[in-house]
Amino acid sequence: MMEETHIVENKTIWKDEWLEWICGFANAQGGILNVGTADDGTPVGLADIKSLLEKLPNKIINKLGIVADVNKRTLNGIDYIEIAVHPSNVAITLDGVIYYRSGATNQTLRGEALERFLLSKMGMHWDEMEIPNATIEKDIDREAVDYFLKKAIEEERLPKDSINDDTQTVLKNLHLISDDGKLRIAAIILFGSHPENYVRSIDFRIGRFISDESDLLFQDVIQGDVIRMADRIMKVLRSKYLVSYIGYKGMKRTEPLEIPEAALREIIYNALIHKLYTGTFVQMKVYNDRVSVWNEGPLPEGFPVEMLMQEHSSRQRNPLIAKVFFLAGFVETWGRGIKKIRKALQGVGLPDPVFEENCGGVRVTIQRPRNIANLGVVVGVEDGAEEQTDNEEINDFNKQFAIDFGAVDGVERSVYNVIKANPEIRQAQIKSITGISVRTISRILSSLKQHEYIKRKGGDRYGSWIILK
């Protein structure tokens, strides 16, 4: 029996609408349409098989412009028709509509899906498209180009004298300028002075939630060229979303993030490289117990999400963008990024990331440390060394805070950090984030005001906090 699969479709009788399935097979990987068989592939026979064998080849040529193999087959003494469809190198239409076989379904391609399909048939990717009116002088930020060159030279993936190349030479060497001198869309995304003028969803958005999407506390929108976007994102995450543990290795001050920066950067880079730029913005959601990053754009066909956690090759939606990220040393080309994420998380005792297909895109979720509800800063002294740092102002602040509050359990520091991250926050929200009772929070707020770390501007409902230290 010939059960239905992504390349096999069974029909009991012939209808002209089955031409849509033939069109879909031709536009995808090819396939077989059996006529005169049940869904499980069992032959049921055809009354007009001789007539169909004569008509179908001409019908397929006239309607679709392709040649398919139309043959009579026999199984268990019962005849049926097998139509073998070969994959086409060009787009095949039926009455002006393009169909595409995906999985066990036949899809009508429209909008962005149609655009991507047509580009693929021409051997192109979306990031290779030219922008007729864009110019280097008007639309490319040389500082972004220099940033890339310095990173690539540091990684020894470009020669040192590349730093002296003019912008046009750099872009041409990266294939970001077409043969007729037009900028490609990848050039604008990577190095654009105002990329939002050409790409509608280049934003990277970060939101702070408590347990679900109904309780948004605050948010940030990160914009600008993509080559420096990860740096901007990490700066914002450090300033108000994630905890940095302050410690010392001998005489040197350390401030590692609660989630290893290497893992976060790899996830951010993947989202920026594989994102569907004709879709919506990348979304990072920071909850009390987890962080998730979602980018629009499905996984490649025949590439299940489970494959991400196994050995796999790198298949890029935007190869020009991916190449620049590789040269800058941000990513590798061998599909090793997820291994790097897992290794970094395991190094601090965190579980593996969870990947899932969600709302037409891919979402990765990583857990925050279990004790992160206590947002106090961990201060340690190694080998009996005195607490010293090259930033005396921060060091003096830590010492004074310990004098003022004792720093026994860190609850005062937890409340202070939350307020510093979001001066508009209310007591109920502080409770949700820290797990500290409202009564204790009220006492801590009074103490923080008394020691002149914060002061209140406006009323309890609509006012905000001013950070004094």
The pLDDT confidence band at residue 381, using thresholds 50, 70 and 90, is very low
- Rounded Cα gap, residues 270 and 284, in angstroms: 13
Strand partners, 73: 80
Q: Output the furthest CA–CA distance in the chain (Å, rounded).
A: 97
The DSSP call for residue 422 is: -
In a domain, 3, yes or no: no
On the 0-12 / 13-18 / 19+ scale of CB atoms within 10 A, 235 is exposed
The domain total for the chain is: 3
Candidate ranges 143-152, 271-280, 404-413; pick with highest mean pLDDT: 143-152
Q: Which residue matches tokens 């949700």?
A: 432
Same domain, 252 and 220: yes
Tokens of 241: 């979303």
Same domain, 297 and 321: yes
> Of all helices (H) and strands (E), which one includes residue 62?
helix 49-64
Q: Which residue matches tokens 């089955």?
A: 18
Q: Which residue matches tokens 């520091």?
A: 413
Strands 361-367 and 354-358: antiparallel
Same domain, 210 and 348: yes
Q: What is the pLDDT of residue 99?
A: 94
For 67, 160, 267, 329, 435, the CA distances from 375, given in Å and listed in that order, are: 67, 44, 24, 33, 10
Q: What is the pLDDT of residue 378?
A: 33
Q: Which domain holds residue 29?
A: 8-121
Q: What is the pLDDT of residue 252?
A: 64
Q: What is the CATH classification number for the domain harbouring 95?
A: 3.30.950.30
- Rounded Cα gap, residues 419 and 462, in angstroms: 15
Same domain, 385 and 446: no
Residue pLDDT, tens place only, 32-66: 999 999 998 899 999 889 999 999 999 999 999 99
Same domain, 345 and 418: no
In a domain, 356, yes or no: yes
Q: What is the CATH classification number for the domain harbouring 338?
A: 3.30.565.60
- Rounded Cα gap, residues 128 and 140, in angstroms: 16
The DSSP call for residue 65 is: S
In a domain, 2, yes or no: no
On the 0-12 / 13-18 / 19+ scale of CB atoms within 10 A, 220 is middle
Same domain, 33 and 134: no
Inform me whether the pLDDT recorded for 159 exceeds 50.
yes
Q: What is the pLDDT of residue 375?
A: 43
Same domain, 64 and 175: no
Q: Which of residues 323, 358, 390 is at a domain's end?
A: 390
Mean pLDDT of the chain: 85
Strand partners, 35: 11, 81
- Rounded Cα gap, residues 434 and 2, in angstroms: 59
Residue pLDDT, tens place only, 450-467: 989 999 988 877 788 898
Q: Which residue matches tokens 């003096």?
A: 396
Inform me whether the pLDDT recorded for 377 exceeds 60.
no
Inform me whether the pLDDT recorded for 346 exceeds 60.
yes
| Average pLDDT of the segment spanning 300-310 | 66
Same domain, 222 and 304: yes
Same domain, 337 and 268: yes
The DSSP call for residue 157 is: S
Same domain, 310 and 287: yes
Q: Which of residues 390, 419, 454 is at a domain's end?
A: 390
Q: How many CA atoms lie within 13 A of 185 on its CB side?
A: 18
Same domain, 239 and 140: yes
Residue pLDDT, tens place only, 432-443: 777 788 888 999
> Of all helices (H) and strands (E), which one includes residue 70?
strand 69-75
| Average pLDDT of the segment spanning 313-321 | 80
In a domain, 448, yes or no: yes
Same domain, 225 and 318: yes
Q: Please list the helix, strand and coil fractions of the chain in percent, rounded to the nearest 5, in that order.
A: 40, 20, 40
Q: Which of residues 371, 390, 409 is at a domain's end?
A: 390
Residue pLDDT, tens place only, 67-94: 999 999 999 899 999 999 999 988 899 9
Strand partners, 354: 365
Q: What is the pLDDT of residue 17?
A: 95
Residue pLDDT, tens place only, 123-142: 678 888 889 889 999 999 99
In a domain, 346, yes or no: yes
Residue 449 in contact with residue 456, Cβ under 8 Å? yes
Share of the chain above pLDDT 70, in %: 86
Helices 411-421 and 427-434 sit at what angle, rounded to 10 degrees?
120
Q: What is the pTM of this model?
A: 0.65
Q: What is the CATH classification number for the domain harbouring 423?
A: 1.10.10.10
